[in-house]
C-alpha cells in the first residue's frame, strides 16, 4: 500500500510539473486575446515556439484541425522547395512531328506544356518576351516552316486533364483566384472585364474585355451601389465553357472599373491564338487547333524548335507566399503530385513525418487553401515554420514572405509600427476564417514561429484583423 501511495505521489508530481512546464510564456496575452468578443463563438487554434530559446510561447487548441484558408500555401510551397528544388524551372516547348520539306511541315505543330504557371505573365515579361506568340511565330519561320499540313496542338499530357476541384465553392470558380492550373497556363489564366458605372442602382455597362479575342458570352447583371467602395461582384460559369454571368455591385461613377475573371480553358486559347497568329503572318495551316493529352513515348518523335523556361521554383514560391497567389500554389501542388506519384495529402503526411512534425490532423484537398474542406492545426504549422527556418532554403523563403506594415498581404497590419518587433508571415482569409502564420522577431531579437487559426468569428474582417494585429504586437513585445 505504501509503495502504491509513493507511486501515486510521484505520478501526480510529474503531471503537475509537466502541466506547469507546458504553460505558454505569453499566457496572459493569450487569455486576453481569447476574451475578445469577436471570438466568443469561434473555434481558435494557437501555437508559438521561441526558436531561439525553445520555450512554448502560445498553446491553445494547438492540435485541433481547423479550416486554414491561405496559410495552407506554406505547406505547398515548402514541399515544392524541397521536392522540386528551388532552382528548378518548368519548360514550355514548341515542337513538330513529321518532316519539313521545301518549307512545308507535313505533320503537326505542338505547344508542349510543362506546368509553368507563369507563362505570358506580365510581371515576368523579361523572362519570356513581350509577346510569346510573336516569339513562337518567329522561331517557327526560322525553322524554315512556311506551311503546316497538320494541326496546332496544345499538348497537356504533362498533367493530363485536370478536373475542376469538387470541393471548391461555385462562386469562386469563375474568378481569377479560382483557376485550378493546367499543363499550359497563360497570362496568369486571367482576363479583365471593364465596366462604366453611374448612379446608385444604375446598371453597369460592360465596355471591354481583355484579351479581346477570348470569345466570352457575358450576361451582365452588375449594378452601381453607393454602399460599396470596391469590387463586390461574383462571376458564375454558365452552361457552356465560355458562358459567364457577372452579378453583384461596383462603386458608383467609375470609368473602366476592372473586374478579373479566370480563363475557362487556357490550353485551348493558346493553341487557337498561335493558329491565327501564324496564319496572319504568312504561315498557312491546313488543319485546325485543338488540345490533346495523348502521350508521346519519346522526345525523338518530335523536333523541338524553341523552349521557354519559367522563373525558378524559389521565385515562384516567394511570389506565391507574398501575395497569396492561388494559381501558382495549385500548379506547384500538381507538380508535387506528379513527381511524388502521391496525392497531396499522402505526400504531405510523409513529408511532415520525415521531418519529425506531427502529421495527424493534416487534411489538404487543394494546394492553395481555397476549399473550406482543407484542415490543418496550429502546432504542425508552427513546427513547419521552425523546420523551414533551419533549412538551407529557409532564409530566402522567410525573407520572401510579407512583412507587417510594409509588403504583400500584411501591408495594412500595424503591429510593427513602432519598429520594436518584426513580423514576416502568411495570411489566410475567407468567409468566417482568419489565419496568420510566420516568424515574429521580438523585442529581444529572438525568433518565434507562430500560427493563429480562427474559424467562425463574429464581426467584419477589419475588426478581426485588428484583434489579431494587437495580439501579435503584445506577444512580440512580451
What are the pLDDT digits (tens) for 242-271? Answer: 999 999 999 999 999 999 999 999 999 999
* pLDDT one-digit tens code per residue, 189-202: 999 999 999 999 99
For residue 169, tell me if it sits in a domain.
no
For residue 11, tell me if it sits in a domain.
no
Band (pLDDT 50/70/90 cuts) for residue 241 is confident
For residue 439, tell me if it sits in a domain.
yes
Both 354 and 460 in a single domain?
Answer: yes
Final residue belonging to a domain, choices 275, 309, 343:
309
Yes or no: say if 230 and 249 are a contact pair by the CB < 8 Å rule: no
* pLDDT one-digit tens code per residue, 33-53: 999 999 999 999 999 999 999
For residue 330, tell me if it sits in a domain.
yes
For residue 59, tell me if it sits in a domain.
yes
Whole-Å CA distances, 141 to 59, 276, 278, 320, 420: 64, 15, 9, 36, 60
* Percent of the chain topping pLDDT 90: 90
Q: Report which DSSP code applies to 164.
A: P
Both 206 and 134 in a single domain?
Answer: no
Domain extent at residue 415: 24-85+314-476
406/396 Cα distance (integer angstroms): 17
Specify the pTM: 0.93
Final residue belonging to a domain, choices 250, 284, 309:
309
Both 332 and 462 in a single domain?
Answer: yes
Both 353 and 404 in a single domain?
Answer: yes
pLDDT at 22 over 70: no
For residue 172, tell me if it sits in a domain.
no
Q: What is the CATH number of the domain that holds 54?
A: 3.40.710.10
For cell 476564417, name the residue: 433
68/255 Cα distance (integer angstroms): 37
Both 204 and 328 in a single domain?
Answer: no
Does the CA dihedral 286-288-289-293 come out positive or negative?
A: negative
Q: How crowded is residue 297: how many other Cβ atoms within 10 Å of its Cβ?
A: 6
The candidate with the shortest Cα–Cα distance to 282, out of 170, 138, 85, is: 138
Both 121 and 142 in a single domain?
Answer: yes
SS3 label, residue 376: strand
* pLDDT one-digit tens code per residue, 304-357: 999 999 999 999 999 999 999 999 999 999 999 999 999 999 999 999 999 999
Could you give the number of structural domains in the chain?
3
Both 432 and 332 in a single domain?
Answer: yes
Show the DSSP H helices in 35-179 as ranges: 73-83, 132-142
For residue 144, tell me if it sits in a domain.
yes
Both 436 and 349 in a single domain?
Answer: yes
Band (pLDDT 50/70/90 cuts) for residue 298 is low
Band (pLDDT 50/70/90 cuts) for residue 239 is confident
Both 109 and 229 in a single domain?
Answer: no
| pLDDT confidence of residue 3 | 46
Both 357 and 464 in a single domain?
Answer: yes
| pLDDT confidence of residue 1 | 46
Final residue belonging to a domain, choices 281, 309, 337:
309
For residue 176, tell me if it sits in a domain.
no
Q: What is the CATH number of the domain that holds 110?
A: 3.50.80.20
* pLDDT one-digit tens code per residue, 404-426: 999 999 999 999 999 999 999 99
Both 128 and 269 in a single domain?
Answer: yes
Band (pLDDT 50/70/90 cuts) for residue 9 is very low
The candidate with the shortest Cα–Cα distance to 321, out of 447, 410, 392, is: 410
Whole-Å CA distances, 258 to 52, 112, 157, 194, 241: 46, 32, 34, 5, 22
Both 360 and 463 in a single domain?
Answer: yes
Amino acid at each position: 500500500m505504501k509503495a502504491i501511495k509513493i507511486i501515486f505521489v510521484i505520478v501526480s508530481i510529474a503531471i503537475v510539473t509537466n502541466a506547469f512546464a507546458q504553460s505558454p510564456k505569453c499566457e496572459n496575452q493569450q487569455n486576453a486575446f481569447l476574451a475578445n468578443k469577436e471570438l466568443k463563438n469561434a473555434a481558435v487554434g494557437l501555437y508559438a515556439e521561441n526558436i531561439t530559446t525553445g520555450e512554448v510561447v502560445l498553446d491553445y487548441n494547438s492540435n485541433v484541425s481547423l479550416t486554414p484558408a491561405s496559410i495552407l500555401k506554406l505547406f505547398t510551397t515548402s514541399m515544392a522547395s524541397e521536392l522540386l528544388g528551388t532552382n528548378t524551372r518548368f519548360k514550355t516547348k514548341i515542337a513538330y512531328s513529321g518532316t519539313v520539306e521545301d518549307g512545308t511541315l507535313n505533320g503537326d505543330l505542338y505547344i508542349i506544356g510543362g506546368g509553368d504557371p507563369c507563362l505570358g505573365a506580365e510581371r515576368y515579361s523579361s523572362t519570356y518576351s513581350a509577346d510569346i506568340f510573336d516569339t513562337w511565330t518567329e522561331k517557327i519561320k526560322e525553322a524554315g516552316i512556311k506551311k503546316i499540313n497538320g494541326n496546332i496542338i496544345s499538348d497537356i499530357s504533362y498533367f493530363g486533364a485536370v478536373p475542376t476541384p469538387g470541393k471548391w465553392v461555385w462562386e469562386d470558380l469563375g474568378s481569377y483566384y479560382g483557376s485550378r492550373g493546367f499543363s499550359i497556363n497563360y497570362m496568369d489564366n486571367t482576363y479583365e472585364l471593364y465596366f462604366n458605372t453611374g448612379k446608385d442602382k444604375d446598371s453597369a455597362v460592360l465596355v471591354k474585355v481583355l484579351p479581346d479575342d477570348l470569345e466570352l458570352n457575358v450576361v451582365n447583371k452588375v449594378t452601381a451601389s453607393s454602399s460599396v467602395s470596391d469590387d463586390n461582384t461574383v462571376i458564375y460559369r454558365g452552361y457552356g465553357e465560355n458562358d459567364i454571368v457577372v452579378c453583384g455591385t461596383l462603386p458608383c461613377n467609375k470609368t473602366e472599373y476592372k473586374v478579373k475573371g479566370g480563363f475557362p480553358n487556357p490550353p485551348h486559347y493558346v493553341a487557337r491564338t498561335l493558329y491565327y497568329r501564324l496564319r496572319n503572318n504568312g504561315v498557312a495551316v491546313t488543319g485546325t487547333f485543338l488540345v490533346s493529352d495523348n502521350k508521346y513515348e519519346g522526345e525523338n518523335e518530335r523536333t523541338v524548335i524553341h523552349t521557354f523556361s519559367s522563373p525558378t521554383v524559389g521565385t515562384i514560391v516567394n511570389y506565391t507566399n507574398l501575395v497569396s497567389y492561388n494559381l501558382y500554389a495549385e500548379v506547384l501542388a500538381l507538380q508535387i503530385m506528379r513527381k511524388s506519384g502521391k496525392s497531396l495529402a499522402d505526400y504531405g503526411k510523409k513529408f511532415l513525418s520525415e521531418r519529425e512534425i506531427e502529421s495527424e490532423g493534416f487534411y489538404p484537398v487543394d494546394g492553395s487553401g481555397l476549399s473550406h474542406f482543407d484542415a490543418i492545426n496550429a502546432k504542425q504549422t508552427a513546427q513547419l515554420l521552425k523546420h523551414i527556418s533551419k533549412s538551407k532554403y529557409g532564409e530566402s523563403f522567410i525573407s520572401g514572405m510579407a512583412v507587417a506594415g510594409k509588403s504583400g498581404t500584411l501591408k495594412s497590419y500595424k503591429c510593427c509600427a513602432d519598429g520594436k518587433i518584426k513580423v514576416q508571415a502568411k495570411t489566410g482569409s475567407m468567409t468566417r476564417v482568419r489565419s496568420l502564420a510566420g516568424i515574429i522577431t521580438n523585442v529581444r531579437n529572438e525568433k518565434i514561429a507562430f500560427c493563429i487559426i480562427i474559424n467562425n468569428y463574429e464581426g467584419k474582417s477589419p475588426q478581426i484583423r485588428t484583434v489579431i494585429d494587437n495580439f501579435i504586437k503584445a506577444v512580440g513585445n512580451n
